[in-house]
Chain A
Amino acid sequence: MTFPFPLPRVLRLRHRLPHADTPTRPYADRPNARRSVRAAFAAFTAFSLAIQLAQAATSEDPLTMLRRGTDEVLAIAYSGQSPASLPDRLRPLLQKDFAFDLVTRQAIGPGWRQFTPSERQQVTDLFTRLLLRIYSARVVGTQRPNINYGKPVTLAPDRCEISTQVTIPNTDKPYSVVYRAIKLPEGWRIYDVLIEGVSFVANYRAQFDEVVQRGGAPAVIQALKAKLAQPINPNS
């Protein structure tokens, strides 16, 4: 069939699609262009997903963070695997919810300002390892504890504390564990734990004060290394 007059160029389908019977993929003639479009789309998806995840993490309120973190830790601690590797298995979970660098800085106190960047890094690494070992030794017991969470109480505009009551079945009275959390750009992070009113950070701060005054960062590093050389026995 022929038209009495030539069709405008845009309507000449045969002209635009030389093989109209076989469907043609878009950009078939320009494979590079297709690849870059796909890459752009993937990048956009990943980007928006990352933003959503970041927002979810940041907007997670302290109580939700604490409940989720505690459940994750207890699931691993009471999974029946060997307690020897527990610090390594708990490390990724705890590093997500604890501000270990802030915990270390507080434990050292104002003397931290005199530490060089590499000393700071080394002290943080060693102290984090010590904390993970202590935490792992204490979190494991014969029976999984039951935890009652209180409401967050404001300490400062960006800090709060959450009281919990920990009950281990068939033992004496429940004991009190208070978590203190701070809002950092990446979300709420725990920066101190108080067991029966005894602040973990303040307790180490009291011990480190004298070490820092006596020998500065080298003495702190030496003391931490000596402590890490000794085993910490799990609860019996």
Chain B
Amino acid sequence: MNYLIPGLLLLFSCVFGYADQRNQPNLKVTKSSPQTLAATTTSTSADELTNAPAEKVNDPFERINRSTFRLNDSLTIHVAKPVARTYEHLVPHKVRTAVSNFFYNLDFPVRFANDVLQGRIKRSGQEVSMFIINTTAGIAGFIRVSDHVPTLVDVPPEDFGLTLARWGFSPGPYMVVPVLGPSTIRDSVGLGGDFALNPLNWYQLGVFAHNYIPTWANYTLGGARVISGLPGGVRTYEQMKETAIDPYIAVRNAYLSHRAAQLQK
């Protein structure tokens, strides 16, 4: 995914994952028709909801995390936000969407590799179809033509953090990474894994002997990728911050539950 360049990680201030199913009993659901639902009425359910014990959060480094969180907060407000505002001011909305689509399409190899590593044959096929359709009909990925194909509308993106989770690794302590934002030990390792899975980085990693992409182009691409992700990330973070009683806990809870939800898909 977009973690390649540190700036994008500000994006993470708002969203991205976690995985501790023990804390999410409500996610285990059974299907049944709405008619059977309507048949019974009890008030005990409301009491159960209220008296449920608080979720335990693995956050032994809370003190350090809180100060890193403050650092990221001021970086978001004083650096990321002005850049995002300028970008929004200069570039029309439709072009910004197209640029985001382009970078999403560019990350196809990472998502595909993670699908394969998790043994998700169907989803990897969907990713391949999306990539082919959007690269050709969607002009190098600027237009998400695949959204008009019903089977390709909702293909959850996989990353190496989720792959590690499905391989059985526990998330480990929650941590706030400077610049990048909320993460866990496992997801931080996942970032490194995703970096290694992206062919664009294989020259730096010594896999390719020849640099197929000029260095200046690589840096331009990286900068554009970071900037294209900023407006959404900054907005999500600000929305969370202004509605929260304690923004640190609100972001931590949001990151961990979003990650848990991704793992369920």
Contacts and interface: CB of A to CB of B under 8 A. Distances in A.
Given A158-B40, A158-B45, A206 B55 contact: yes
Interface string A210-231: 1100000000000110010010
Contacts of B39: 157
Nearest to B93: A170
A139 to B, nearest CB: 13
Interface in A167-211: 170-172, 174, 182-185, 191, 194, 196-199, 202-211
B40 A157 contact: yes
A147 interface: no
Nearest to A211: B245
A36 to B, nearest CB: 38
Most chain B CB neighbours (cut-off 10 Å) among A105, A194, A197, A206 = A197
A215 to B, nearest CB: 13
Nearest to A131: B243
B31 interface: yes
A161 B28 CA distance: 12
B261 A196 contact: yes
A110 B53 CA distance: 7
A123 interface: no
Contacts of A202: 55, 253, 257
B220 interface: no
Interface in A79-110: 99, 102, 105-106, 108-110
A154 interface: yes
A152 B37 CA distance: 9
A197 B264 CA distance: 10
Contact of B37 (A110, A154, A171): A154
Given A155-B29, A158-B41, A170-B93, A198 B242 contact: no
A73 interface: no
Interface stretch (A18-26, A39-47, A55-63): A55-63
Most chain B CB neighbours (cut-off 10 Å) among A102, A158, A174, A210 = A158
Contacts of A206: 54-55, 57, 249-250, 252-253
B207 interface: no
A172 B45 contact: no
Nearest to A158: B45
Contacts of B153: 174
B45 A171 contact: no
Interface residues of B, number: 54
A232 interface: yes
A153 B30 CA distance: 7
Overall SS of chain B's interface: helix
Contacts of A232: 242-243
Contact of B249 (A99, A160, A199, A207): A207
Interface residues of A, number: 59
B49 A160 contact: no
Given A109-B50, A156-B45, A206-B54, A223 B245 contact: yes
A185 B45 CA distance: 12
Nearest to B30: A154
Nearest to A99: B46
A204 B245 contact: yes
Most chain B CB neighbours (cut-off 10 Å) among A99, A108, A109, A185 = A109
B260 interface: yes
A223 B244 CA distance: 10
A190 to B, nearest CB: 13
Interface string B217-252: 000000000000000100100110011111001101
Contacts of A204: 245
A233 B243 CA distance: 10
B94 interface: yes
A101 to B, nearest CB: 9
A165 B154 contact: yes
26 contacts: A62-B37, A105-B50, A110-B50, A110-B53, A151-B34, A152-B37, A154-B30, A155-B26, A158-B37, A160-B37, A170-B94, A172-B101, A172-B232, A182-B46, A184-B41, A184-B46, A185-B41, A194-B261, A197-B257, A198-B253, A198-B254, A203-B250, A203-B254, A206-B249, A227-B245, A233-B242
3 closest residue pairs by CB, A with B: A197-B261, A206-B253, A154-B32
